[in-house]
Chains A and B, each alone.
Chain A
Amino acid sequence: MATDMSTMRIGVSGFWGVLRGDLGRWLGRRGLFQLILWLLIIEGFLYYTVATENAPFGQLGYEILLNMLMFFPIFAGIILAEATIIGEYHSGIAAWLVSKPVPRAGYLTAKLGGLWIGLSLTAILIPGLVANWWLPKVEPYRFVTPEPPPFGRFLAALGVTVVVLGFFIALTGFLAVLIRRRGITALLAMIVWLLLRIPLPQIPTAWHRYLPSGLYGTNQTAEGWIPGTEYIHGHPFGQASAVPMTMLAAVLLVASAVLVYQRLEL
């Protein structure tokens, strides 16, 4: 019993050590660079598409924003998860870290978790909140609804985006430990993203309530936007079941990745 407690204490310490190291990089210079980059991408693109004089989608500020947040950060998550897991596997950094008192499960979850937290903050939450601050100030106010969406609903929509990001980081992590080849791993994850994004006739519509596609598939609203856009404008969130199911899927993917990683030769 005492040995189990000691093992757990050491394991938790190793996990926090790796997570802290990774989060430290997001909070440092690299994080600042990422944040500036994401602010430029999200706010810049949004400003061009909705706030300039000849903005092509003048009235769709929040719709464009939420769709962008479901697109660019997810792709970045796939690329970075692949680079982290496969890059550290091939470079020997993974072997170096797990030769310390760090359990393999702790290493993998800390790496994927650190990326998820870092990217959620710099690419989704902060750019989303910044956009929510300036979008209502656009003169003249021209968006779909007469008033900006309630802050709580907007925050919930950002939360859903963070859940989807977590799912794709977990999926890429799982594929990465399984395939261990760069390029093909990201490609497969992007194909999954695309298959769930575009309505497939083979998948019954009701299923989307329990799939990640229920959170970002373009067939989920009459206008072809992601469900969160309807939600922030006061509609009920019909695909709410997809949130816990997507989270569960992410947890299962990470657990499966850990099982594979335990057997991996480093």
Chain B
Amino acid sequence: MTVPAIEIRQLKKRYRKVEALCGLDLTVDQGSVCGFLGPNGAGKTTTMKILMGLIRSSSGWAAVLGNDVSDDDLPARARIGYLPQDPVFPPSQTVRGVVASVARLYPGHPRGSELRRRVDGLIDRVGMIDIARRRVRGLSGGERQRLGVAQALVGEPDLVILDEPSAGLDPMGRRDMLSLIEEISSRATVFYSTHILDDVERISDTVVMISRGRAVAHGSLDDILTVSEADYTVRLRGDTAGIHDRLIAEPWVGEIDIRRRTETEDWRIRLTDDSVADRLAPLLASDDDCDVIEFHLSDRRLEDAYLELVGADDGD
């Protein structure tokens, strides 16, 4: 059985009076692209720093590639590539110098022309080969971010942990970054944090949503986007007053959101019990004053799920 790339159980971290993590549980399978979603201050960076051994947890347990992070296991760390939030590099070093100096930290690293080839290959992959000789102090925020990805990949890691990789990037930079993450995912597990929901929908296969230091949702993107059998979207044309009254009189109809259009109305109907869902369609069809143009289970976007799960948690 393959060990998970990341496994976290009841992880807690307290900074004086602030509880940054309060019993976080999550598992990231090897080979997946896992988006770690949450609002600012939810505990994403704290979790990643604990995984990298930069800070210690107050209690709980975390393992990366099967190794307990509290053991500070160097062989395991050699298999992880990490991009910190707001990456900082020695300002006087060149782009090529930063990547080469990181490459030399790994045992058995290539030397001479082979090292140069690997370094330049990586710099090319992140689209910086034209500015390989530019010093770090002369780089823009986006370029620094891309350099951060290059240095994270130089050890040919099995797991890549990226803390807000597309933060501060312009739309083109963001698009390139996502393409790069997709490319990385063909060879390594990717665990990245973000609060940009579109990014997660585009490239992730699993999602962990975190709020106030604990996971509020965890699973495949399909699972999270699949709504229950009790949420329907209906488009009606004609006089809808009668059917509305009949629907709200039924005890199994929860709430109806109505959006009026020029000639039609879109209703989102939530049932209190999905076992009675088969009663809804006949009831709607029974009204002669209006026509049912569309009838289907409601689509849910990640944003809906996020607002529902994280929003509900914030409202506690």
| Interface locus among B87-95, B120-128, B261-269 | B87-95
CB contacts (< 8 Å) of A182 on chain B: these are: none
Determine the distance from Cα of A14 to Cα of B102 in the docked complex, in whole angstroms: 9
Q: Which among A99-107, A185-193, A223-231, A234-242 touches the partner chain?
A: A99-107
Which of A25-40 touch B at CB < 8 Å?
25, 30
Please tell me if A159 contacts chain B, counting CB pairs below 8 Å.
no
Q: Is B101 an interface residue (CB 8 A)?
A: yes
Q: Does A50 contact B (CB under 8 A)?
A: no
Task: For residue A233, give the distance in angstroms from its CB to the closest CB of chain B.
Answer: 43
Which of A2-10, A64-72, A125-133 lies at the binding interface?
A2-10
- Given A9-B107, A265-B54, do A100 and B102 touch, yes or no (CB 8 Å)? yes
Q: A98 to chain B: which residues have CB within 8 Å?
A: 53-54
A136 interface residue per 8 A CB criterion: no
| Residues of B with C-beta under 8 A to A97 | 105
Expressed in whole angstroms, the Cα–Cα distance for A93 and B56 within the complex equals 18
B69-109 vs A, CB cutoff 8 Å, 1 = contact: the mask equals: 00011110110101010111110100000000110111111
**How distant is A175 from chain B, measured CB to nearest CB, in Å?**
22
Which of chain A's residues have a CB closer than 8 A to the CB of B90?
Answer: 93
Judged by a CB distance under 8 angstroms, whether A266 is at the interface is yes
Q: Is the CB of B105 within 8 A of A14?
A: yes
Q: Which of A6, A14, A96, A103 is within 8 Å of B89, CB to CB?
A: A96
Inter-subunit contact A17/B104 (CB<8 Å): yes
CB of A95 to closest CB in B, whole Å: 5
B106 x A99 contact (CB < 8 A): no
Flag if A265 contacts B155 (CB, 8 Å).
no
B52 at the interface (CB under 8 A from A): yes
Do A101 and B78 touch across chains, with their CB atoms under 8 A apart? yes
Bound complex: CA A75 to CA B93 (Å): 26
Give Cα distance in the complex from A20 to B111, angstroms.
14
Assess whether B307 is interfacial by the CB under 8 Å rule: no
| Shortest Cβ gap from B108 to chain A (Å) | 8
B3 at the interface (CB under 8 A from A): no
Chain A residues whose CB sits within 8 angstroms of the CB of B87 once the complex forms:
92, 96
Whether A100 and B84, one on each chain, are in contact in the complex, defined by CB atoms closer than 8 angstroms, is: no
Residues in B neighbouring A92, C-beta threshold 8 A: 84, 86-88
Q: Does A218 contact B (CB under 8 A)?
A: no
Give chain A nearest CB distance to B148 CB in angstroms: 9
- Is B197 part of the binding interface, using a Cβ–Cβ cutoff of 8 Å? no
Chain B interface, >50% SS class: loop
Assembled-state Cα–Cα distance A141/B193 (Å): 72
A149 on the B face (CB < 8 A): no
In the bound complex, residues from chain A placing their C-beta under 8 Å from that of B92 are 25, 30
Cβ contacts under 8 Å, A21 to chain B: 101, 104
Are A96 and B84 CB-contacts (below 8 A) given A7-B73, A101-B155, A265-B55? Answer: yes
The answer to whether A17 touches B74, judged by C-beta atoms less than 8 angstroms apart, is: no
8 Å CB contact of A17 from B75, B84, B105: B105
Q: Which of A3, A96, A98 has the most CB of B within 10 A?
A: A96
A13 touches B105 (CB 8 A): yes
* Contact residues in A for B107 (Cβ distance below 8 Å): 9-10, 13, 101
Query: What is the minimal beta-carbon distance from A89 to any residue of chain B, in angstroms?
Result: 11
Residues of A within 8 A of B105 (CB): 13-14, 17-18, 97, 100-102
Compute how far the CA of A63 lies from the CA of B247 in the bound complex, rounded to whole angstroms: 103
Q: How far in angstroms is the closest Cβ of chain A from B16?
A: 12
Q: How far is the CA of A95 from the CA of B197 in the complex (A)?
A: 28
Residues of B contacting A202 in the complex (Cβ-Cβ under 8 angstroms): none
A265 touches B56 (CB 8 A): yes
B34 to chain A, nearest CB (A): 19
Task: Say whether B75 contacts A7, CB under 8 Å.
Answer: yes
Q: Chain A residue with minimal CB distance to B13?
A: A265
- CB-CB contacts of B275-313 with A at 8 A, as 1s and 0s? 000000000000000000000000000000000000000
State the CA gap A21–B88 with chains docked (Å).
16
Nearest CB to that of B86 among chain A residues? A92
In the complex, chain A residues whose CB is within 8 Å of the CB of B108:
13
State how many angstroms separate the Cβ of B188 from the closest Cβ of chain A.
Answer: 16
CB of A91 closer than 8 Å to a CB of B? yes
Point out the residues of chain B lying under 8 angstroms from A263, CB to CB. 56
8 smallest beta-carbon distances between A and B, as pairs: A17-B105, A13-B107, A101-B78, A92-B88, A10-B74, A17-B104, A265-B55, A266-B54
Q: Which residues of B contact A (CB under 8 A)?
A: 49, 52-56, 72-75, 77-78, 80, 82, 84, 86-90, 92, 101-102, 104-109, 155
Besides the known contacts A21-B104, A91-B88, A93-B88, 10 further A-B residue pairs in the complex with CB atoms under 8 A apart: A10-B74, A17-B106, A20-B104, A30-B92, A93-B89, A96-B87, A96-B88, A97-B105, A99-B82, A265-B54
A-B contact pairs, 16 of them (CB 8 A): A3-B75, A7-B75, A10-B74, A10-B78, A10-B107, A11-B74, A13-B106, A14-B105, A17-B105, A25-B92, A92-B86, A93-B88, A93-B89, A96-B87, A100-B106, A265-B55
